[in-house]
Amino acid sequence: MPAAPPTADTSPAHLLKIQEVAAETGLTTRAIRYYEELGLLEPAARSEGAYRLYDTSDLERLRYIKELRDEAGFSLAAIGQLLEDETARERNRERFRASHDPRERRAILEDARARVDRQIETLEAKATRLGTMIEAARDRRTHLDRHLAELDGGPDPHPDRKRAR
Amino acid sequence: MPAAPPTADTSPAHLLKIQEVAAETGLTTRAIRYYEELGLLEPAARSEGAYRLYDTSDLERLRYIKELRDEAGFSLAAIGQLLEDETARERNRERFRASHDPRERRAILEDARARVDRQIETLEAKATRLGTMIEAARDRRTHLDRHLAELDGGPDPHPDRKRAR
DNA sequence: CGTAACCTTCACGTAAACGTTAACCTTCTG
DNA sequence: CAGAAGGTTAACGTTTACGTGAAGGTTACG
């Protein structure tokens, strides 16, 4: 076979070392290695001397993990569930997509879609609960505002600053 | 003197012991004591023999803490920030409100409002970031759907089930 | 008033999520 | 090609958020 470039695919193989990835994502190198230990991701490649090398999809994945951790407050275990094998098997799928028949492709895509759907559901559930909490907090504020109004002397005090959302 | 009930105040002094509170809130007794250790709350009273006794406001506070922990995913330290002294000093304030002048009352209420405002801001910030994530996930789904449509054969396959939000 | 059930304060144990250090190897640069 | 900068694995340390007794006081009940 004619010396195929190793996974020469879509990108110009712009790979980053772990420290660069850390700077880029705001994670520490330790955290990145730890996530790998937990099976949350695998570096796209290793150098000759076993240096971890990351591509852009790895970056995205790490940013996503960080978001799920920081913004959504999920545990790494939960994040593992959310990511499932998603991207882990995405590479396999890409190969499938490159060579096999449409029905296989379709199955793969639908599977991916189902996963995304589940992610969305989980996130929305969280958002809903958060929304409920925010509502409750707003109610408390309204309550306080009413008390303030009363205190200010009946029906027409000086309307501080109206705040409607 | 005619045997005054101890601390006969506004409520019928319906105080709960820690295990009852645990059952009521879904927390463990250990967690409740731990939150106290961290300064997140103080039981409304102690019995003769030093049993912790909680009133309804304690219950609310604990439920709120649990929500912040579970739904919003805040650390207990962050929750401490959010709660600040809020209810901790609310009791003092209630006394103030009962006896002092309106200007003092007003100041107290405005302070409380400011705290609630900050809580709302924090929660909304979180909600916004979560929303962004959900949007991103929806975009991915849309993308997958487009690919599926293409795969199904050009402009008019069989529209599986439409899913719009 | 005995005793079962519950409470108290230590105090040590644990899982999760990394931080830090050690000992050693790889890469890049002058 | 030396050697500073950065990477690797391995292993132990740390913080957070409790779990799990131990040793002993307190309450409620028959």
**Closest-CA distance of chain B to residue A13, Å:** 24
If you average pLDDT over every residue of chain A, what do you get?
84
Secondary structure of chain B in HEC code, one letter for each residue: CCCCCCCCCCCCCCCEEHHHHHHHHCCCHHHHHHHHHCCCCCCCEECCCCCEEECHHHHHHHHHHHHHHHCCCCCHHHHHHHHCCHHHHHHHHHHHHHHCCHHHHHHHHHHHHHHHHHHHHHHHHHHHHHHHHHHHHHHHHHHHHHHHHHHCCCCCCCCCCCCCC
Contact B120 A134 (CB under 8 A): yes
Q: Is the CB of A51 under 7 A from strand D?
A: yes
Nearest residue in chain A measured CA to CA from B153: A102
Are A18 and A52 in contact by the 8 Å Cβ rule? The answer is yes
Distance between first and last Cα of chain B: 69
Question: In this predicted structure, what is the pLDDT of residue A88?
Answer: 52
Distance CA B23, CA B8 (A): 26
- Give yes or no for B88 touching A (CB within 8 A): no
- Residue-wise pLDDT for B96-155, tens only, equals 778 788 888 888 888 889 999 999 999 999 999 999 999 999 999 999 999 999 887 765
What's this model's pTM, rounded to 2 decimal places? 0.84
* Average pLDDT value for residue range A122-128: 95
Mean pLDDT over A91-96 rounds to: 70
Query: pLDDT of A72-84, one tens digit each?
Result: 999 999 999 998 7
Instruction: Name the 3-class secondary structure at A139.
Output: helix
Mean confidence (pLDDT) of chain B: 84
